[in-house]
Amino acid sequence: MPCKSCELEPVISRRYSGEILCRKCFFRSFEKNVDRELRNQINRLSSSSELKINRIGVGLSGGKDSTVSLHILNMYSRNRGIDLIALCVDEGIEDYRSESLKYAKKQCSDLDVEIRISSYKDLIGMTLDELLRKAPPVASPCSPCGVLRRRSLNNMAKSANVDCMVLGHNLDDFSQTVLMNHSRGDVSRLVRMAPHRHVQSGFVPRLLPLRRLPEQEVYLYAFLKGMNFHDGDCPYAGKAQRNLFRKILLELENKQPGTRHSLLNGMEKIRENSPAPSELSSCPSCGEPSGGNGPCVFCREFGSFAV
Ligand code: SF4
Ligand SMILES: [Zn+2]
Ligand SMILES: [Zn+2]
């Protein structure tokens, strides 16, 4: 069946919406979706916090999602005179991150975007590989990795003086996180998820312009645009807790197209009816924002390693 708008050969059939699109119509629809999401998220954040966005940091790994974010943000920011900087985290995963960062550096040099890289070695004196050998995690390697990544990115974003940070999470990532929070009954975490609508002291707000686009479409967009991205998997990814949620969601989406979008929309409805998150307290040990009254999760888990 040809593209429904212009009768050309299709590149995608979206089961969740019934659209059949040719290459040109797919690009147009994809970019419109990202642009609308980005503008809405920026407007919400700016109006609730009286924040003017002059400088944006893009979390960049060299993979497809962050590469697409960088390209789209590059167009968006240049048209509006906004400064853009790429923020990369080097976890220290041999033969994986070292490779993907080569792609990240090349993208930034091609687009003439400043790039900064911060490593777990700078933060705790050892790479993720070394940490996992020294202190094997009880659950998944992604748990300590997630804590370290959030801290590295927030530190970099603050020192780069950005007003907000854009991450490349797609619809699959986003709906998995929503489902994980639901399954734990963790409504407060659901309400605090990015895209953030409020600025909290010490914490750079994060925006997710790709969150309504499925992972396959982000891949297709990057591929059809001829983007040069890293296509490998982290060697620890097989142990991630979210794998089960990914599997369940793919099955649900297959039987009931639109489930991922429904999870996203449901989460937004819960958020609309919840009060704005209260200000975070400061960690008594490092001074960074903390979810509770005691030390933050970084100090609790890595206080003895911090350099
Ligand atoms: S898959 Fe897990 S361990 Fe690997 S980079 Fe991602 S969060 Fe870190
Ligand atoms: Zn078309
Ligand atoms: Zn702390």
pLDDT at site 280: 80
Residue 59: both structure tokens together: 């979390």
Token pair 């400088």: residue: 55
pLDDT tens sequence for the chain (307 residues): 899 889 899 999 999 999 999 999 999 999 999 999 999 999 999 988 788 999 999 999 999 999 999 999 999 999 899 999 999 999 999 999 999 999 999 999 999 999 999 999 999 999 999 999 988 777 889 999 999 999 999 999 999 999 999 999 999 999 999 999 999 999 989 999 999 998 988 999 999 999 999 999 999 999 999 999 999 999 999 988 899 999 999 999 999 999 999 999 999 999 999 888 778 889 999 988 887 778 999 999 887 665 5
Ligand nearest to the CA of residue 294, numbered in listed order = 3
pLDDT value of position 279:
80
Quick one: which of 44, 72, 43 has its CA closest to 58?
A: 72
Distance CA 85, CA 71 (A): 12
Q: Is the CB of 240 under 6 A from ligand 1?
A: yes
Residue 88 β-bridge partners: 117
Distance CA 215, CA 170 (A): 6
Question: Residue ranges of the domains in the chain?
Answer: 34-270
Per-residue confidence (pLDDT) for residue 291, from 0 to 100: 77
Which atom of ligand 1 is least distant from the CA of 146?
7
pLDDT digits (tens, 9 = 90+) for 181-227: 999 999 989 999 999 998 988 999 999 999 999 999 999 999 999 99
Q: CA 62, CA 99: separation in Å to the nearest integer?
A: 9
Taking the centre of ligand 1 as the mean of its atom positions, its distance from the CA of residue 81, in whole angstroms, is: 34
pLDDT at residue 15, as a whole number: 96
Give pTM, 2 decimals: 0.95
28 CA distance to ligand 2 middle (Å):
9
Q: Determine if ligand 1 sits within 6 Å of the CB of residue 141.
A: yes
Residue 163, C-beta contacts closer than 8 angstroms, at least 6 positions apart: 51, 52, 53, 54, 55, 56, 204
Euclidean distance between CA atoms 158 and 172, whole angstroms = 28
- What DSSP letter does each residue of 10-68 carry, written as one string? EEEE-TTT--EEEHHHHHHHHHHHHHHHHHHHHHHHHHHHT----EEEEE--SSHHHHH
Smallest CA separation from ligand 1 atom 6, residue: 142
Superfamily of domain 34-270: HUPs (3.40.50.620)
Per the listing, tokens 């002291």 go with 201
- Tell which one of 96, 119, 145 to mutate to probe ligand 1, the residue whose CB is within 8 A of the most ligand atoms: 145
Pocket probe mutation, ligand 1, options 88, 90, 91, max atoms within 8 Å of Cβ: 91
91 lines ligand 1 (CB under 6 A): yes
Residue 231 has a pLDDT of 95
- Cβ(90) – ligand 1 distance below 6 Å: no
CB 127 within 8 A of CB 92: yes
pLDDT, residue 307, reads 58
Percent above pLDDT 70 for the chain: 99
Q: Which atom of ligand 1 is nearest to the CA of 235?
A: 4
Q: What is the pLDDT of residue 48?
A: 82
Choose the residue to mutate in 236, 239, 241 for probing ligand 1, maximizing ligand atoms within 8 Å of C-beta. 236
pLDDT value, residue 42? 95
Q: Whose CA is nearest to atom 2 of ligand 1?
A: 142
Quick one: pLDDT at residue 264? Answer: 98
Q: Which atom of ligand 1 is nearest to the CA of 97?
A: 5
| Cα–Cα dist 148/179, whole Å | 23
Q: Is the CB of 236 under 6 A from ligand 1?
A: yes
Give the whole-angstrom CA distance, residue 268 versus residue 262.
10
Which pLDDT score, from 0 to 100, does residue 62 have? 97
The CA 174 to ligand 1 mean position distance, Å, reads: 16
Give residue-wise pLDDT tens across range 66-79.
999 999 999 999 98
Q: Is the shortest distance between the CB of 145 and ligand 1 below 6 Å? A: yes
Ligand 1 atom nearest the C-alpha of 240 is 2
